[in-house]
Amino acid sequence: MNPYEVERRTLLTPVLLLLLAERGGHGYELVRRLVDMGWPDAESAHVYRVLRGLETCGAVTSHWDASDHGPARRVYAVTHQGAMELALWFVRLGELHGILHVFLERYVQLTDAAAGAGDDRPSAPLSTDRASTEPPSVDPSSTVHMRRIRK
């Protein structure tokens, strides 16, 4: 597993807490909601492992919901402790957001300076293959977005 995937998997905990705080749900539903949130490659097995871990530490509860149409499903809900953990994640991710904003801003400045100086560094990140060990590139339109933020 490459470092980028490790980072994304770490973020699955607060994202699942957020989804469950919005409304409870069963595992496959949560996987679908992750896709809607821009997480298209969430592995259901990993989602279930994280949910079990959250339940073990008391952040979520679950119960079996019997259905007339198909098998019973384990439905998850966030607990008071889970809501408190979500609030802590909000603070931590807010701090990280600030750091990332500065990073992206400085990267845009670096690429602008390199382009203006005739440097041979790329003015926009190059694409990478999803199977490689590098994270996927930032869409060049993101660089334009950062330039707008700067103004």
Residue 22 burial (CB count, 10 A): 10
Tens digits of residue pLDDT in 67-109 = 888 888 999 999 999 999 999 999 999 999 999 999 999 999 9
Residue 59 burial (CB count, 10 A): 23
Q: Which residues contact 73 (CB under 8 A, 6 or more apart)?
A: 26, 27, 28, 64, 65, 67
Read off φ and ψ for residue 131, nearest 5 degrees: -85, -10
**Which comes out higher in pLDDT, residue 151 or 76?**
76
pLDDT of residue 90: 97
Of 6, 8, 14, which is closest to residue 54 (Cα–Cα)?
A: 14
- Beta bridge partner(s), residue 73: 65
- Give the count of domains, the chain: 1
- CA-CA distance, 19 to 148, in Å (whole number)? 31
The structure's pTM equals: 0.72
In the predicted structure, residue 57 carries a pLDDT above the cut 50: yes
Q: 138, 125 in Cβ contact below 8 A? A: yes
Interval 119-129 mean pLDDT? 51
For residue 21, the enclosing domain spans: 3-150
Percent of the chain's residues with pLDDT above 70? 77
Tens digits of residue pLDDT in 130-146 = 444 444 444 555 545 54
Q: 51, 76 in Cβ contact below 8 A? A: yes
- CA-CA distance, 130 to 60, in Å (whole number)? 32
CATH of the domain at 140: 1.10.10.10
